[in-house]
Chains A and B, each alone.
Chain A
Amino acid sequence: MPEANTGDTPKGLSRRNVIKGVIAAGAVSGAAYLFRGSMVRAGGAAAGSVERLVTLNVNGRERRVDVMKQETLATTLRYKLGLTGTKLGCDRSECGACTVLIDDVPHYSCSILTHTARGKNIVTIEGLAAADGTLHPVQQGVIDEQGFQCAFCMPGFIMATVGFLKVNPNPTREELAHGISGNLCRCQDYDKILTAMMRGAQLSRT
């Protein structure tokens, strides 16, 4: 298949052209969001370029993966590693649906370059439950309270809560609300979300 995937920087997709494209067509919202099906070219990396085949530690496992230098962690997780539990709601740090933990700190994976996460521990929603299927206390909190409606925002909220509880394991409702206020729920089910996350905090302490 000698077509399309000839390198990691597409010819003609200069920054100037991307900007022009946005203005002219209004269609392109930044190249990093776009998915590039990729094939590794033969031969080593050119001098000064970034190694494409990298090792990531995701949910406690070492994963070898082919990553373009402009690729975001959300794209790598969803399209290269099959971890579709991490959702893309906005692709620009506005909604938090793509929140994952990197070394225990919540990050918007849509706005993290995968290369910067090398050598760090990445945890996604798929990595929270125990191997035997026992749910994480925060996940169990959602079950107990029937938290969330459509749940598209849920993985992000849960990861943000798990991260917040690591620094404040015994928050008030108001403190927890502040802690997860970088996440947006369009069903606007905030009251029940907070109840479920507080239940998760309680279960985490016992």
Chain B
Amino acid sequence: MPDTPKHPPFKLIGKNYTTPDLVAKVTGKAKYAEDYRADGMLFAKLLLSPIPHARVRKIDASAALAMPGVKAILTADDMPKPADALTDLGARIPANPLGERGLTNEPVYQGEPILAVCAVDELTCAEAIEKIRIDFERLPHAIDPLETLRPGTPNARVEGNVWIRPPVPKGQQAPPPQVKELKWAEADFAEIEHGRLPMGKLHPDGVDVAPQSDEWSFGDVDEGLKKADLVLDETFTTPNTSHQTLETRTAMAYWQNGKVYVHCSTQSTQPTAPAIARWLGLVDDKGQPDVSRVVIISEYTGGGFGSKITSAISAIIPAILSKKTGAPVMMRVSREEEHFIGRARPSIQGRLKVGFTKEGKITAVDMFVILDNGPYDPQGDANNSGRMLSLMYQPPAMRWRGVTVLTNTPPRLSQSQPGGFQGIALMEPVMSKASRKLGIDQVALHRMNAPEGKAPIGAAPPGGKRAYVTSAYIKEALDRGSEMFEWERRKAMPKRSGTKARGIGVATSCFVGGSVGFDGLFIIKPDGRITVQSGIGNLGTESVTDSHRVVAEVLDIPWEKVEVVWGNTSKNLPNSAPSGGSQTTHAMTRAAWATAHDAKKKLQEIAAKDFGGNPEDYEVARERVFRKGGGSGMTLAQAAKRAIELGGVYDGHEVPAGISPYTKASVQALAGQGLLAVAKDTMPRDGVTHSYVAGFAEVEVDLETGKYRIVDYMAVADVGTIIHPRSLGGQILGRSTLGIGHAIGQKWVYDSHYGIALAKRFHYNKPPTILDVPAKMTWDALDIPDPETPVGARGIGEPPVGAGCCAILNALSDALGDDIFRRAPVNPDTILASLEAGRPMQEQFTAHI
């Protein structure tokens, strides 16, 4: 193996420290959205649709409005039209006329908010809601994605049952996606009898779709399968799982001097202002969101996992009610309501045909997926499942096909490793089975098919070349993990002991690990201290301060002299990465690096002005700028005073070209306070940034009850340079456990006749508790810097999920063989029934059982 890169020794990067938000958290002083109060604050409550699909014919709220204490009622007619949205990676999706508006006159899932009542307190709201009479026209509903593809079945929306992406006219923005009706032939469904997923048409006949939107390929798949020594044709189903953030999407809002102040729960701070502005219809004459009229306050957020990337559309309900009533309005969202409006990961039913040589090398993958999209915006999970599979297992040839089906179930949204998780979860059972069929060790099989270096990903765009990643060292992670986990020793242990069976499993997983192009902003104050403006959200990952350790590292200033300002968009923040898609650590350490070098350059220039010579003759260290090799120099405090005297670019009175208008406004507001450092990350990057995790698990199954326990779990991450070990460890094991939840129990259960959710809240839709995982879990990270980013750090929020889930699934198969399960989660009753029958007994093709 070639030598791997090493990063230089760091003083702060890679070291543990106490984050500045922690004392407030342990003393209960940290304020989340629901903890704010405002004088004269009113309350709001939602009326949710009791049925999965209907049209509101008439709302009679007269009795409610006549009640003392009731201030206003908000219906869909009061809501702004659907607005553009930001993707996980910050790109804009044009408004979808069939998108959500927060309230609706055509509920498309049980629990969709129809109206909101605002009153002096919540009990009055609840009383008022009881007095409201709604005349519904019931419409047919669809709960099961496969069922709605059968001829003659109902559609989830009046317009149809599948999303398609129309072709993009030359030189224009992509038009909004469209809903069409797609029905397969009855004969297509004969595959179900053989335990295989039916594979019908991808879109209705006569409908044009954008190239590669529902099918792409590279290499010669047919040839690859033909020359394979082993071809597996496997169908697997992943679960729908609610994000279930512990803090619901509660929000409080008020207006002052034409500005709306929104206290909300959000993963990102700065990027939430434009999102809320757009949802509220606050746009300037160019159609851009008018962020000057929105202030977001979110110092602490109680979890997001992809469900609150820029807060939630429900946050505009108290904002509009506040405008209507002229008073602050708090809308607390209950756990019951959160189940419906709190977002979820979409299930994928997938079929994979995979060819292997007898040595274990993958020759080709033919992949077909059906995405259970819910009723609203099309999610990227179907496409991403194929893309991540293509990276993780490096097939030389692959075809991906996907159908995105609408159902009358709660709206879906990106959840940690969106699509990537499903792709890994579809493929890992195939890897596990191939390992047994071919007699090849699980680790060896993963290793020989793993990406290395600038490995290719996805299909080439029309007329272009395949994209490739910045780096991949997952093979090293597998090597280190096998050693730490004592894989060989565990492998040699007996699989049976009385009524217990044990098994070990390994899984590899990957996802996007960073974006580029954001801004940094900080000031060296005349007292020699640094104030960093952080637009990053504080959702618990600690990237809100971790990223800025880079500033102190580059300038060689003690961390104690750095203050981080965060959590309030009125505090002059820079254009920052949305905290979604694991982009923050990569994007914002780059921005911090660029900005620290802007400060360094300004310090050197100031020294050269005062002491003569060239700026390059000076260096910055130990809180000083001084002539190299000793001699004249000044402290950072003195340099900050000089910067104010010099003005111009030095103290922010002159704004450099190229930075975002949002950052520019913040620079102008902060000008004159010291040496102002501001920069946009324009540094080159060769490849697309991805991160990787290898997960290892041992399970023990009780053959008499089907119950199993996780004996051990360990994960090794390839995420570049380690910035903050403790927060990294929390992410690796925390996200692994989120994945483990998908293996051991989380799912939805529906009454499909009435379209009503049966498993709601925490108790019936239970995420892992502290007793579901081993009391001691282990993690490690390679700490090999990514060569395409200056500090070398990549994001970690996503890849542990697939590794966690699939290490458990593969360990179960190692213990019990191939004929136990065909879908996740795997419950004790599945194991027991299948063991007794000698074949998989869990119904495979019905959703939500």
Name the contact of A31 in the complex, choosing from B16, B43, B126, B763 (C-beta under 8 A).
Answer: B126
Within 8 A of A (CB), among B732-785: 733-738, 741, 761-763, 767-771, 773, 775-777
B36 shortest CB reach to chain A, Å? 9
Hey, what's the 0/1 contact readout for A17-37 against B, CB within 8 Å counting as 1?
A: 100110111111101011111
B336 close to chain A: CB less than 8 A: yes
Q: Is the CB of B27 within 8 A of A13?
A: no
User: Bound complex: CA of A86 vs CA of B19, how far in Å?
Assistant: 22
Q: Is the CB of A188 within 8 A of B738?
A: yes
B540 close to chain A: CB less than 8 A: yes
B539 close to chain A: CB less than 8 A: yes
Q: Is the CB of B302 within 8 A of A150?
A: yes
B159 close to chain A: CB less than 8 A: no
A62 close to chain B: CB less than 8 A: no
- Residues of B contacting A135 with CB < 8 Å? 23, 26-27
A132 close to chain B: CB less than 8 A: no
Given A17-B130, A26-B49, A34-B126, the answer on whether A3 and B733 have CB atoms closer than 8 Å is no
A73 shortest CB reach to chain B, Å? 15
Residue on B nearest A190 in the bound complex, by CB: B770
Q: Is the CB of B730 within 8 A of A4?
A: no
User: Bound complex: CA of A187 vs CA of B247, how far in Å?
Assistant: 11
Name the contact of A89 in the complex, choosing from B46, B246, B337 (C-beta under 8 A).
Answer: B246
User: Bound complex: CA of A31 vs CA of B122, how far in Å?
Assistant: 9
Given A90-B762, A150-B302, the answer on whether A192 and B733 have CB atoms closer than 8 Å is yes
B706 close to chain A: CB less than 8 A: no
Q: Is the CB of A89 within 8 A of B335?
A: yes
- Residues of A contacting B125 with CB < 8 Å? 34
Q: Is the CB of B123 within 8 A of A186?
A: no
A95 close to chain B: CB less than 8 A: yes
- Residues of A contacting B762 with CB < 8 Å? 90, 94-95, 184
- Residues of A contacting B332 with CB < 8 Å? 35
Given A3-B68, A3-B69, A187-B734, the answer on whether A84 and B31 have CB atoms closer than 8 Å is yes
A168 close to chain B: CB less than 8 A: no
A154 close to chain B: CB less than 8 A: yes
User: Bound complex: CA of A177 vs CA of B156, how far in Å?
Assistant: 44
A126 close to chain B: CB less than 8 A: yes
Residue on A nearest B775 in the bound complex, by CB: A173
Q: Is the CB of B123 within 8 A of A35?
A: yes
Given A10-B127, A194-B770, the answer on whether A27 and B246 have CB atoms closer than 8 Å is no
- Residues of B contacting A170 with CB < 8 Å? none
Q: Is the CB of B726 within 8 A of A10?
A: no
Q: Is the CB of A92 within 8 A of B761?
A: yes
B583 close to chain A: CB less than 8 A: no
- Residues of B contacting A146 with CB < 8 Å? 16, 18-19, 22, 542, 726-727, 730
B307 shortest CB reach to chain A, Å? 11
A183 close to chain B: CB less than 8 A: yes
Given A90-B762, A146-B19, A188-B738, the answer on whether A25 and B28 have CB atoms closer than 8 Å is no
Q: Is the CB of A4 within 8 A of B126?
A: no
B273 close to chain A: CB less than 8 A: no
A56 close to chain B: CB less than 8 A: no
Q: Is the CB of B25 within 8 A of A4?
A: no
User: Bound complex: CA of A150 vs CA of B726, how far in Å?
Assistant: 14
Of A40-48, A101-109, A113-121, A137-145, the one contacting chain B is A137-145
- Residues of A contacting B119 with CB < 8 Å? 4
- Residues of B contacting A82 with CB < 8 Å? 37
- Residues of B contacting A67 with CB < 8 Å? none
Name the contact of B303 in the complex, choosing from A3, A129, A152, A193 (C-beta under 8 A).
Answer: A152
Name the contact of A23 in the complex, choosing from B50, B303, B738 (C-beta under 8 A).
Answer: B50
A203 close to chain B: CB less than 8 A: no
Q: List 12 A-B contacts (CB under 8 A).
A: A12-B130, A26-B49, A26-B340, A27-B46, A31-B126, A36-B122, A36-B124, A94-B763, A125-B26, A128-B27, A150-B247, A177-B771
- Residues of A contacting B741 with CB < 8 Å? 188
- Residues of A contacting B729 with CB < 8 Å? 191-192
10 new A-B contacts, CB < 8 A, other than A90-B335, A181-B771, A194-B775, are: A12-B131, A29-B334, A87-B247, A135-B26, A139-B26, A149-B734, A154-B25, A177-B771, A186-B244, A190-B773
User: Bound complex: CA of A153 vs CA of B245, how far in Å?
Assistant: 10
A77 shortest CB reach to chain B, Å? 10
User: Bound complex: CA of A196 vs CA of B247, how far in Å?
Assistant: 22
User: Bound complex: CA of A97 vs CA of B542, how far in Å?
Assistant: 21
B230 close to chain A: CB less than 8 A: no
User: Bound complex: CA of A34 vs CA of B127, how far in Å?
Assistant: 11
Most buried by B among A11, A89, A154: A89
Q: Is the CB of A28 within 8 A of B126?
A: yes
Within 8 A of A (CB), among B23-51: 23, 25-32, 34-35, 37, 43, 45-50
Q: Is the CB of A83 within 8 A of B28?
A: yes
Q: Is the CB of B28 within 8 A of A126?
A: yes
- Residues of A contacting B16 with CB < 8 Å? 146
Q: Is the CB of A143 within 8 A of B69?
A: no
- Residues of A contacting B336 with CB < 8 Å? 26, 29
User: Bound complex: CA of A126 vs CA of B301, how far in Å?
Assistant: 19
B120 close to chain A: CB less than 8 A: yes
Measuring CB to CB, which residues of chain A are less than 8 angstroms from any residue of chain B? 2-6, 10-13, 17, 20-21, 23-29, 31, 33-37, 78, 82-92, 94-95, 97, 124-126, 128-129, 135, 139, 142-143, 145-146, 148-155, 158, 173-174, 177-178, 180-181, 183-194
A136 shortest CB reach to chain B, Å? 9
B110 close to chain A: CB less than 8 A: yes
User: Bound complex: CA of A21 vs CA of B48, how far in Å?
Assistant: 11
Q: Is the CB of A4 within 8 A of B726?
A: no
Interface secondary structure of B, over-half rule: loop
- Residues of A contacting B50 with CB < 8 Å? 23-26
Q: Is the CB of A21 within 8 A of B129?
A: yes
Q: Is the CB of B26 within 8 A of A142?
A: yes
User: Bound complex: CA of A142 vs CA of B18, how far in Å?
Assistant: 10
User: Bound complex: CA of A181 vs CA of B768, how far in Å?
Assistant: 10
Q: Is the CB of B120 within 8 A of A37?
A: yes
Given A25-B48, A31-B123, A92-B335, the answer on whether A85 and B29 have CB atoms closer than 8 Å is yes
Residue on A nearest B713 in the bound complex, by CB: A191
Q: Is the CB of B111 within 8 A of A26?
A: yes
Given A35-B43, A139-B27, the answer on whether A95 and B246 have CB atoms closer than 8 Å is yes
B300 close to chain A: CB less than 8 A: yes
Name the contact of A151 in the complex, choosing from B120, B244, B540 (C-beta under 8 A).
Answer: B540
Name the contact of B246 in the complex, choosing from A78, A97, A177 (C-beta under 8 A).
Answer: A97
User: Bound complex: CA of A149 vs CA of B302, how far in Å?
Assistant: 9
Hey, what's the 0/1 contact readout for B276-316 against A, CB within 8 Å counting as 1?
A: 00000000000000000000000011110100000000000
Residue on B nearest A182 in the bound complex, by CB: B769
B407 close to chain A: CB less than 8 A: no
User: Bound complex: CA of A110 vs CA of B121, how far in Å?
Assistant: 18
Q: Is the CB of B22 within 8 A of A189?
A: no
Q: Is the CB of B337 within 8 A of A27?
A: yes
B541 close to chain A: CB less than 8 A: yes
User: Bound complex: CA of A6 vs CA of B301, how far in Å?
Assistant: 36
Q: Is the CB of B26 within 8 A of A154?
A: yes
Q: Is the CB of B123 within 8 A of A34?
A: yes
Residue on B nearest A79 in the bound complex, by CB: B37
Q: Is the CB of A150 within 8 A of B246?
A: yes
- Residues of B contacting A129 with CB < 8 Å? 27
Residue on B nearest A95 in the bound complex, by CB: B762
Hey, what's the 0/1 contact readout for B167-210 against A, CB within 8 Å counting as 1?
A: 00000000000000000000000000000000000000000000
B650 shortest CB reach to chain A, Å? 37
Name the contact of B27 in the complex, choosing from A21, A31, A85, A193 (C-beta under 8 A).
Answer: A85
- Residues of A contacting B23 with CB < 8 Å? 135, 143
Q: Is the CB of A125 within 8 A of B28?
A: yes
Given A4-B69, A89-B246, A189-B734, the answer on whether A158 and B26 have CB atoms closer than 8 Å is yes
Name the contact of B761 in the complex, choosing from A6, A94, A145, A180 (C-beta under 8 A).
Answer: A94
Q: Is the CB of B28 within 8 A of A155?
A: yes
Q: Is the CB of A191 within 8 A of B18?
A: no
- Residues of B contacting A10 with CB < 8 Å? 123-124, 127
- Residues of B contacting A13 with CB < 8 Å? 123, 126-127, 130
